[in-house]
Amino acid sequence: MSNTQMPNLNIGEKNQLKLERLQSTLNRACKNVPFHRNRLIEKHVMPEDIISLRDLEKLPFMERTHLGLNYPYGLFAVPLRDIVRIHTAPGTGTNPSISGYTRTDLIIWQKLVARSLEAAGVTPMDILQINLPPGLANWGRDYKDGAETMGAGVIPNSPLSLAKNLMVLRDYKTTTLVTTAAFAEQLMDHMFDNEHNPNELNLKRMVLVGEPLTLAQTKPLEERLHVDVWLNYGLSEIPGPAIAFQCSARCGMHLNDDHILPEIIDPETLKPVPYGQKGELVLTTLSARAFPLIRFRTGDMAQFIEAPCECGSPLMKMEWLPERSDNMMIISGIKISQHQVREYLKDALGTDQPDCKMEKFRHGGTESLGISLVIDDRLFSDEIKSLERLINETAEQLAEKIGVGVKLTLTEKEHKS
């Protein structure tokens, strides 16, 4: 067993380990973060009241909005001098979400990422190339660190054109590509359209991140590019990727539940659902030092898998489901808050309530956010140039804010006949 794997503990020992980590996380969070302390006091719960894993239910939930409301460092549980890395994610409101890592956090995340890569068959003999969009750049750094920890060669994330990426894949003899489904499909189409035979590549596997994929989506990639596809689950707002990963059994995903405690709740009643039923995934960090999350509502839908895994790993398993319990959209693996986009448009255009529709827009293999905005008297200008400038500037600024491309179009209000 490599040192990245969870020790093979029996169920009692495993639950003891989780309880110990949960209790010390709560002790640290309540001692160092006023937000956590005050919310526990409001609920009349103290850390010492959590005497079993079931008591987790007594704790209040954290939501994405809390990350923005406590911008920038309000949720950090260590002094800033202990922080060695700071990450920014778009967030859901006016403020971005800021998260931090201590040196110890980085060591733990490196091990977790290495664990997921090992499960995908990556060895120190492999060359791993990372290609992630700017909105997932944080994960790029984590994958780089994790792969280096296990001794694999790494080609870090850098903004390259599709043709350049293909050149690196081919010439540098990349064996493992970490990317999004959108890029993988774009690459596949580009290769076939430009008569590049997949045999030119040394690629053995793709680790796809950012969104749940069906067999219908992964199968063409596996067959046409001669690779194995492995899914990883992570959160872009907080550290980091590979919270859950596929193993050789290819049945659901293993959760790193020795470091992150998962629950599945009914998004309506907020009560845990019976084991194995569908619900919203809620995560509590068990070893994070800088940025503890306590019952963080991910908005992702999932269900636990009870049967032990063929691969023999003692880690819990879940099925990651395509639907969501919130109105976030996933574009190129990045979660986009429709509420945040509307708020931004409100400020940028000076309208009270922008009338718009949002959808995933796909062009030439790349995904962006398509917004069709209903033009009203306030926005209307008889000068086409000034309208065009307003659209372009707004789209550019919004793209910078949310980390994905934006295509903004104006439409006329539909008149009811």
Q: Give the residues lining the site for other proteins (CB under 8 A).
A: 12-13, 16-17, 19-21, 23-24, 27-28, 31, 47-48, 51, 78-79, 81-82, 102-104, 107-108, 287, 289
Q: Which is nearer to other proteins, 47 or 262 (CB)?
A: 47
Give least dist CB 178 to other proteins, A.
25
Give least dist CB 107 to other proteins, A.
6
Share in percent of the chain as helix, strand, coil (round to 5): 35, 25, 40
Give least dist CB 155 to other proteins, A.
28
Other C-beta atoms closer than 10 Å to the C-beta of 322 total: 12
Q: Which is nearer to other proteins, 51 or 163 (CB)?
A: 51
Please state, in angstroms and as integers, the Cα–Cα distance from residue 116 to each residue in 6, 61, 121, 291, following that order: 12, 27, 9, 22
DSSP character string of 14-25:
HHHHHHHHHHHH
Q: Which is nearer to other proteins, 26 or 330 (CB)?
A: 26
Give least dist CB 102 to other proteins, A.
6
Give least dist CB 233 to other proteins, A.
24
Q: Which is nearer to other proteins, 41 or 107 (CB)?
A: 107
333: left (phi over 0), alpha (psi -120 to 50) or beta: left
Q: Which is nearer to other proteins, 81 or 385 (CB)?
A: 81
Q: Which residues contact 51 (CB under 8 A, 6 or more apart)?
A: none
Bridge partners of 101, per DSSP, are 85
Q: Which is nearer to other proteins, 23 or 248 (CB)?
A: 23
Which residue carries 């890029």 as its tokens? 183
Bridge partners of 344, per DSSP, are none
Bridge partners of 149, per DSSP, are none
Q: Which is nearer to other proteins, 28 or 339 (CB)?
A: 28
Please state, in angstroms and as integers, the Cα–Cα distance from residue 345 to each residue in 292, 327, 338, 405, following that order: 32, 17, 11, 15
3-state secondary structure of 316: coil
Q: Distance (Å, rounded) from C-alpha 385 to C-alpha 191?
A: 38
**Could you tell me whether strands 406-411 and 366-374 are parallel, antiparallel, or unpaired per DSSP bridges?**
parallel
Q: Which is nearer to other proteins, 17 or 379 (CB)?
A: 17
**Could you tell me whether strands 296-305 and 279-285 are parallel, antiparallel, or unpaired per DSSP bridges?**
antiparallel
- At 147, which amino acid appears? A
Q: Distance (Å, rounded) from C-alpha 198 to C-alpha 292?
A: 43
Give least dist CB 278 to other proteins, A.
32
Q: What is the DSSP letter of 43?
A: T
Q: Which is nearer to other proteins, 27 or 217 (CB)?
A: 27
Nearest to 97 by CA among 238, 235, 210: 238
Q: Distance (Å, rounded) from C-alpha 322 to C-alpha 382?
A: 44
Q: Structure tokens of 5?
A: 């794997």
Q: Distance (Å, rounded) from C-alpha 157 to C-alpha 137?
A: 7
Nearest to 410 by CA among 372, 382, 379: 372
Q: Which is nearer to other proteins, 115 or 205 (CB)?
A: 115
Give least dist CB 117 to other proteins, A.
20
3-state secondary structure of 105: helix
Give least dist CB 312 to other proteins, A.
19
Q: Which is nearer to other proteins, 107 or 215 (CB)?
A: 107
